[in-house]
Amino acid sequence: MNNQLHLRTVSMVAALLAIATAVLGLGLTALPANAATLPDAHINLTTESVVSNQWDQVDLSCEWSVPDHSQPGDTFSVQLPSQLRWFGKASFDLNNANGDTVATAVANDAGLVVFTLSDFVKAHPLNVGGTCSFSTQYALVPTGGETKELTFTVGSSVVRVPVAVEPCQRDCDPQAPTAAGKSMSWVDPAQTELRSVFTMPAMAADSNDVVVTDTPAAGMDIDCARVTPRTGQVVGSNGSIVEPYDDDQYPAAIDCTPGKVTVTWNGLPKGEHVELFVVTRVTDPSLAVYENTGTVTIAGTESPVVAQLRRTEASGTGDGTAVPTPTPTATTATPTPSATPTPSETPSATATPSATPSATPTPSATPSATATPSATPTPTATTATPTATPTVTSEPVVTTSSPVLVVPTEQPSKTAASDGSEQLASTGAQGSAFVFVAAALLAVGSLLAFASARWKGRRTN
């Protein structure tokens, strides 16, 4: 009895394991391929930028490629060196000439740029590659006139890019402005904010009223909380006012809306310097150029000022090649008759009947006058309608083989994938192994159940 219980228990456990394994196997089979990091992706980087000051723009160009049969979702990356920080929009597409996206690139604040392949490579798995271009800023204060080597990390390899560093040689020390002017620059690497700076020469009259207006064009709004007026008599080496400031002594009146700001000073003395800083937020990031206009009025003399700033672009291209489909060579067999169709036997032209009258009927004897001939002598073989056994004129078996179109019965052989020394993606094929194991467990459970039944029968007998 105990043996029977054991057999039943074991058979039930085997059946349950079989069911669980089968479900797991089917689930794994249905899983999509896993994205992989491509250590063998290739990127070549170059630059023609020259660095003279900190935060100078360094524009980079690249050529990239990935191994054949890389999968959608696979990634490769570029890490900027410590000397550079990303400058520009944080994501961009790499498209082919038809506008199809081959890959996308996303940069983070740490300067890591990750490229992700799109579904395009599924149908075009060969020769996938393209170009890219993006902007950075030189984050260090350059020293000495020499060529610096920038080290980029690309996957598991290192790419070294030389950049020319040439400190300023002429008119390097900014002087105090001699006329009213305006400039703009980006506040952040993501290029979401701009800063306008109004500069003016030292006041020439004994008492001066100054009015500055700033009117940004479409696509920008003034941040009224960051309008900063400044006054003073000391100018630093870069041409800007430095401490001690006279802001409390000569306060400015600010009238600000998102579309316009007006700042007014009254009674500024001779020799006083004035600056105005205005921060604007980008409301339309699709624009390539941002413009800010305004006026500077000193002691009744108005001077128009304008500044433009171009958004740096990050972009790229990509393409790939589809696996060529072999054209089935329809080998239309040219009918080559094996021989001139001839009947197996040449039928006798006269088809002599096999049964010919045995002889010309002659009476066995001259009939006596009284003797009635027993019959009109008829040939024993009445002209038998010749059962013309014309030596069987069997219809000529024309062995001329009619043209046969040879249609390939196999699918075109797939192009052999590149040597997969490293598996790039898991396709879920391992699920079939689980199904096989499940079948084996189910068979074991069935055998144990059968054995249990036999054991029970024996016990009963």
Has domain 42-165 been given CATH number 2.60.40.1280? Answer: yes
pLDDT value of position 172 = 59
pLDDT value of position 375 = 40
Residue ranges covered by each domain of the chain:
2-32+431-460, 42-165, 192-311
Q: Tell me the average pLDDT of the chain.
A: 75
In SS3 terms, 405-432 reads as EECCCCCCCCCCCCCCCCCCCCCCCCHH
Return the DSSP state at 356. -
3-state secondary structure of 12: helix
Q: What tens digit of pLDDT does each residue of 305-357 get?
A: 999 999 888 899 999 999 887 776 665 555 555 545 444 444 444 444 444 44
pLDDT value of position 46 = 94
CATH no. for 192-311: 2.60.40.2430
Q: Do domains 42-165 and 192-311 have the same CATH topology?
A: yes
Residue 228 and residue 278: Cα distance in Å, rounded? 6
pLDDT value of position 459 = 60
Residue 460 and residue 395: Cα distance in Å, rounded? 77
Residues of the chain with pLDDT under 70: 1-34, 168-176, 328-461
